[in-house]
Structure 1
Amino acid sequence: MHLVSANAGPEKVAAPSVLESQHGSVRPLAAEDLERVAALFLTKFRRRRRHLLDRAIAETAEYMREIYLDPAGQSGASNALVQINRQGRLGGFLGVLKARYELNGAALNAAIIGPLMADPGTDDGSAGPQLLRAVHQGEFDLHLTDSANRTSLAFARPMKYQLLPVHCLGWTCIFRPAAMAAAALHRKWPGLPRLALDPCARAFDALSKRRFGSPVQLSSSHRVHREPIDAAQFAERLPTLLSDYSLRPNWKDGELPRLLALAAEKRADGPLHFGGTYDETGKMLGCYAFYGQAGDIASLLQIQASGSHWGATLDGLIAAAWDMGCVGITGQTQSRFMPQLFGYKNVFFRYAGGTMVRSRIAEVTEAVRSGDIFIGGLIGDRWTRLSSDDFGR
């Protein structure tokens, strides 16, 4: 298939509003579905017992309304889908966010696939595949996800999704190991008193300074420096740093500032901070956004650099989290800064979620195969509150 601009070639046809099968029907998410979908989400992904759900359902449903039913600049039916079984009950849900991409000047519609879930009480195993097949029949030129669990991987791989192995990894740089363990325990059990953990953590970390010292590395060039920036500066400069990618997002009409405002609503990892690296003339060489606060684990949202400046930009990120008093930092890997990550001590890697892309357009699949795609962070769903926040508490 030859790639053409959105204004040339055949007109795309949206998916039918309702898709029927012998297992039930799939249709766009509607307002009346929100509470049932929220309850299913909380039981599947937050392990909430049903008698404790009431105070969390309303908050989760309202957040789903914000991102799935009321996205700015989008009209018509929601891109998120629900599966309704033959008895008329909710069988499953697929969270879908729409994004604009471009490839060598041609406009593309992208579906960012988020939570995929089925109700074990009503589903016969067909809801997941049926929801994925339905979104594949829609108006999208490519489908992508950066947070698929192993169950979703099993559904998606036979449907010709391309896996990006490096992006599936998460990295963690440990600053203070005992304090980091204490922070992780406190996240898992918020009621655990910090006074019982912090003194022991401080004592252990004082003894381990020789092994876990400051991770801050000086840039190889004294002409490069870092500065904190705000969301508006980040939104202005990030698109200009993506010119190295052939397949990249195309944010228009205030979409990126709105996306950052939504990302700032996330609570689990602390406030959202922005920074940039600059040369002596004031030109921005790279930028980053991360969540963090003193005594907690920082979480990278996005990092991007131009040309050979990934090392200085990563150095700036690590230094910013250290200076803030964070006990460590974690993030999603990218092939373009893996060599710089290897230069840090006390960095560990783990599987963090499947990153996959699907498209019938040959040029798109080739760009993905060669790693010439900007994906993850703001082009994913890890920025949403659904990825980490504990609703109703």
Structure 2
Amino acid sequence: MHPVSASIGVKNVAAPSVLETQHGSVRPLAAGDLERVAALFLTKFRRRRHLLDRAIAETAEYMRKIYLGPAGQTGDSNALVQINPQGRLGGFLGVLKAHYEFNGAALNAAIIGPLMADPGTDHGSAGPQLLRAVHQGAFDLHLTDSANRVSLAFARPMKYQLLPVHCLGWTCIFRPAAMAAAMARGKWPGLPRFALDPCARAFDTLTRKRFEPPAQHSASHRVHREAMDAAQFAERLPTLMSDYSLRPRWLDGELPRLLALAAEKRADGPLHFGGTYDETGKILGCYAFYGQAGGIASLLQIQASGSHWGATLDGLIADARNMGCVGIAGQTQGRFLPQLFGYKNVFLRYAGGTMVRSRIAEVTEAVRSGDIFIGGLMGDRWTRLSSDDFGR
């Protein structure tokens, strides 16, 4: 890695509070925008044709919490709205502020979430206009781990770097028929359990050997796993990130608050924490996942030190199995993808674009080489906006 240049120490000039163009204006999200933004979100991302007042109210209140009320936030929201020349909402860009460090230098980061435009008021200008506005703000780093293909088309010409491995999701199947039944109930919540579960149990009994637990990467009695709580996870996760040059810098109380918000997510069950340790009690890795018996577990975060990714994955998958989950899904990372190849019944798929943009050459090089901690808590998949069905 080259020495950090003086450019990192240059203070960025904040973007104007309102940016005017011939296509309208972009300004920070305000409380008065929330209901309109919530309605647009439900229409675009939840495909709601008939919007219920309670769904709009619940979505708006959640957006107020994460975009207008973060601890330590002063001044305007980092999230942005585009207002067309007629004064109507044209689009919205969800932005969460985060802190990174690069070889010890502090960086301000913008985590970009939902990007959406109202087709009734927008003529293709809202998305690019919102992205250009956030690029003019006081951020050294812009990143997202959940871009859809439309957002990819907007962002790639703006010099975002795509991280292909992080764009993949992985799924490990424990009980195939029960997993298919869980997916069907997720898509059609009204399906009665008695119509699916007996058939699923019979099929899974027949295929039990094919889907038996995978061989452990580390069968040594000197490596063991233990459950932990959110406070312990918040204390131990930062200690496992020292080998990344570009990594989060969570301020006092910031990570516990983030985990408390992540625990509000409902779609995949409660949030659980675990870790792997050596015989002396030294932490080797830790993980956080959502899960409940009969459901598909969803990985929030996993991190390990050195060569201990395999043992940490073993612990994660064993905990999800023992809980009664029918499978587990998560986002890939370059550092544990090779270990995933050692498991049977693991499938990879495109799950959302992970992209990073920075004007700092050394930061760009670190991203290009994969020397960045990104995804999970340093993304927006932990929010309820990524999965929950509001107002139901």
The TM-score, its normalising length taken from structure 1, stands at 0.98
Name 1:11's counterpart in structure 2.
Answer: 11
Distance in 2 between residues matched to 1:304 and 1:4, nearest whole Å: 31
Query: Secondary structure of the residue that 2:335 maps to in structure 1?
Result: helix
Query: Is residue 2:46 matched to residue 1:46?
Result: yes
Aligned positions of 1:248-259 closer than 5 A: 248-259=247-258
The corresponding residue for 2:167 is 168
**1:82-93 alignment, distance < 5 Å:** 82-93=81-92
Residue in structure 1 matched with residue 33 of structure 2 by the alignment: 33
Structure 1 partner of 2:289: 290
Residue correspondence of structure 1 range 299-338 to structure 2 within 5 A = 299-338=298-337
**1:361, 1:107 → 2: CA distance?**
13
> How big is the shift at 1:217?
2.4
C-alpha distance in 1, partners of 2:274/2:287?
5
Identity between Structure 1 and Structure 2 (%): 87
Instruction: Give, in angstroms, the shift of residue 4 of structure 1.
Output: 4.1
Residue matched to 2:102: 103
Once superposed, which parts of structure 1, at least 4 consecutive aligned residues long, lie more than 6 Å away?
A: none
Deviation at 1:3, TM superposition (A): 3.6
Contact kept in structure 2, 1:4 and 1:106, CA below 8 Å: no
1:358 aligns with 2:377: no
- The secondary structure found in structure 2 opposite 1:219 is coil
**Which whole-Å CA distance do the structure 2 matches of 1:121 and 1:55 have between them?**
23
Counterpart of 2:47, as a letter, is: R
Give the secondary-structure state (helix, strand or coil) at the position aligned to 1:109.
strand
Deviation, structure 1 residue 218: 5.9
Cα offset for 1:13?
Answer: 1.4
Q: Is residue 58 of structure 2 the alignment partner of residue 59 of structure 1?
A: yes
1:271 maps to 2:270:
yes
Partner in structure 1 of residue 345 of structure 2 = 346
CA RMSD of aligned residues (A): 1.2
Contact 2:216–2:311 under 8 Å retained in 1: no
Measure, in 2, the Cα distance between the counterparts of 1:219 and 1:35. Answer: 51
Task: Specify the SS of the correspondent of 1:120.
Answer: coil
Match in the other structure for 2:280: 281
Query: Is 2:28 aligned against 1:24?
Result: no
1:209 aligns with 2:208: yes
Instruction: Kindly state the Cα deviation for residue 155 of structure 1 after the two structures are TM-superposed.
Output: 0.3
* Alignment partner, residue 67 of structure 2: 68
Instruction: String of CA shifts for 1:71-95, please: whole Å, max 9, x gaps.
Output: 0011100000000000000000000
| Secondary structure of residue in 2 paired with 1:75 | coil
SS of match in other structure, 1:214: coil
Whole-angstrom CA distance in 2 between matches of 1:85 and 1:216: 58
Hey, what's the Cα distance between the residues in 1 that align with 2:220 and 2:90? 57
Q: 1:310 to 1:2 in 2, by over 3 A?
A: closer
Count of residues in Structure 1 that have an aligned counterpart in Structure 2: 390
Return the alpha-carbon distance in structure 1 between the equivalents of residues 214 and 193 of structure 2.
25
Contact 1:39 1:53 survives alignment (8 Å): no
* C-alpha deviation, 1:221, in angstroms: 2.3
Supply the distance in 2 between the matched residues of 1:368 and 1:220 (Cα, whole angstroms): 34
* Corresponding residue SS for 2:81: strand
> In structure 1, what is the equivalent of residue 146 of structure 2?
147
